[in-house]
Amino acid sequence: MKKLMAANWKMYKTRAEAKATAEDLMNRIDGKLPTDREVVIAAPYTALETVGSVLAGKQNCSLSAENLYPAEEGAYTGEISPRMLQDVGCVYALAGHSERRSIMGETDELVGEKVAFGLKNGLSMILCIGETIEERKAGEVQKVIDRQLEAGLKNVPADFASETVVIAYEPVWAIGTGEVAGEGEIVEAHGFVRKKLEKIFPEKANEIRILYGGSVKPGNCAQIIALDNVDGVLVGGASLDGESFSQIALA
């Protein structure tokens, strides 16, 4: 199983900025990325084609969208379909990032529809889950993970290839805050995710990658990816700079 080192650029970068960062990153990792590593860049829609052209032909480097809408086409102003994303070179899409859940009000059910629809239409899907600080303080971490996985993976086609489903455990209180979850907290949450995956997909659970996200930096990445059941990282702030993300990708 390849470790997945994913960048999430959120709503940052014009096309020129995106191109410069992607080129800088590729120059820094070129010929150095271990064969058991995969790099993914989730870029804003307007930069997808540009970043895709930089990644073209680079081994184990793929393009991702940060979102999608679960319909083929139609009267969905402001939305974008899996087919349109594939048309500009996307292999992956994120679903259920905590910013979309909290700011755009996405429900567990909508996130599940996005995951299933993306998979059925040829994308690999990165399902983001994680508890808020209030939920953690209330002792509800497992309850939240259980609910978000149950809904997020509902209707996933039974014959999916295990590398096309990725879970990103991102405790909301660790995203963009500089506060990384403790090693014990990560191991416990990822272990719980694995157990839940075993219940949902008994035959594929061990091949589904579970990423950690939340204030991953060059200085803490190596320790995090060495933990049990951590199959990669999803990185926001520290992925915006080519040098910083290259250190993470090669950690």
* Catalytic annotation, pick one of 38, 97, 113, 131: 97
Instruction: Quickly list DSSP for 139-169.
Output: T-HHHHHHHHHHHHTTT--TT--GGGEEEEE
Give the 3-state secondary structure of residue 6: strand
Between residues 63 and 175, which has the closer beta carbon with respect to ligand PEP? 175
Q: Are 60 and 49 in contact (CB under 8 A)?
A: no
CA distance 167 to 229: 11
Is residue 22 part of the contact set for ligand PEP (CB under 6 A)?
A: no
Cβ contacts of residue 197 below 8 Å, gap of 6+? 149, 167, 204, 205, 208, 210
Which bin fits 156, alpha (ψ -120 to 50), beta or left (φ > 0)? beta
Residue 170 bears catalytic tag: yes
Instruction: Note the Cα 108 to chain centre separation in Å.
Output: 16
29 versus 240: smaller Cβ distance to ligand PEP: 240
Q: Which of 216, 230, 249, 251 binds ligand PEP (CB under 6 A)?
A: 216
Residue in this structure with the two tokens 């497992």, named with its chain if needed? 142
Of the listed pieces 76-84, 116-124, 193-201, 209-217, which binds ligand PEP according to CB under 6 A?
Answer: 209-217
Nearer to ligand PEP, 232 or 237 (CB): 237
Is 106 noted as a catalytic residue in this protein?
no
Find the part of the chain contacting ligand PEP (CB under 6 A) among 18-26, 30-38, 113-121, 229-237: 229-237
Number of residues that bind ligand PEP (CB under 6 A): 13
By CB under 6 A, residue 131 contacts ligand PEP: no
- Write down the residue that tokens 């899907």 correspond to: 125
Residue of 24, 45, 142, 176 that binds ligand PEP (CB under 6 A): 176
Active-site hit among 66, 113, 131, 170:
170
Q: Is 66 in the site for ligand PEP (CB under 6 A)?
A: no
Cα→Cα distances 172→126, 152, 239, Å: 16, 17, 18
State in angstroms the smallest separation of the CB of 94 from ligand PEP. Answer: 8
Q: With contacts defined by CB under 6 A, name the span among 25-33, 145-153, 207-215, 218-226 that binds ligand PEP.
A: 207-215
The tokens describing 94, both together, are: 């994120």
Using the rule CB under 6 A, is 81 a contact of ligand PEP?
no
Q: Is 220 helix (H, G, I), strand (E, B) or coil?
A: coil
Residue 131 vs 170, nearer CB to ligand PEP? 170
Q: Which residues are designated catalytic?
A: 97, 170
Chain residues that interact with ligand PEP, rule: CB under 6 A = 8, 170, 175-176, 213-216, 234-238
